[in-house]
Homo-oligomer: A and B are copies of this chain.
Amino acid sequence: MSIFNKNSSISLDIGAGGGASWEFFKDLRKILSFTGKWTNTGDDGAVFKMPDGKSLVMTTDAFIIDPIFFPGGDIGKISMCGTINDLSVMGATPLGIALSVVVEEGFPSSDLEKILHSIDEISRLTKTPIVTGDTKVTNKGKIDKIAITTTGIGMAEKIISNNGTKPGDKIIASGDLGEHGAIILAYRFNYKTRLKSDSQPVLKEMQAVGKYLNAAKDPTRGGLAENLNEIAEKSKIKIVLDEKDLPYKKETRAISELLGINLMALPSEGRFIAAVPEKFAQKTIKILQKYNKTAKIIGSVERGKGVFLNTQSGGLRPIEMPRGKLVPRIC
Give the secondary structure class of A's interface. Answer: mixed
Q: Are B105 and A12 in contact (CB under 8 A)?
A: yes
Which single residue of chain B is at the shortest CB-CB distance from A142? B144
Q: Are A139 and B328 in contact (CB under 8 A)?
A: yes
Task: State which of B104, B123, B147, B328 has its C-beta within 8 Å of the C-beta of A32.
Answer: B123
Size category, A interface:
35 or more
Segment 224-282 of A: residues with Cβ below 8 Å from B? none
Is A96 part of the contact surface with B, judged by Cβ < 8 Å? yes
User: Cα distance A31–B3 when bound, in Å?
Assistant: 43
Q: Are B151 and A36 in contact (CB under 8 A)?
A: no
Is A291 part of the contact surface with B, judged by Cβ < 8 Å? no
Interface centre among A59, A66, A119 (most CB of B within 10 A): A59
Q: Are A62 and B21 in contact (CB under 8 A)?
A: no
- Closest Cβ of chain B to A31, distance in Å, is 4
Q: Are B14 and A62 in contact (CB under 8 A)?
A: no
Interface flags, A103-136, vs B, CB<8A=1, else 0: 1111111101100110110011001111111111
Q: Specify which chain B residues have a CB less than 8 angstroms from the CB of A149 in the assembled complex.
A: 60, 62, 100, 134, 149, 151
- Closest Cβ of chain B to A30, distance in Å, is 9
Which single residue of chain B is at the shortest CB-CB distance from A329? B138
Q: Specify which chain B residues have a CB less than 8 angstroms from the CB of A51 in the assembled complex.
A: 52
Is A48 part of the contact surface with B, judged by Cβ < 8 Å? yes
Q: Specify which chain B residues have a CB less than 8 angstroms from the CB of A144 in the assembled complex.
A: 138, 142-143
Q: Are B109 and A64 in contact (CB under 8 A)?
A: no
Interface flags, A52-73, vs B, CB<8A=1, else 0: 1000101111111010000000
A-B contact pairs, 5 of them (CB 8 A): A4-B112, A28-B133, A35-B129, A51-B52, A100-B151
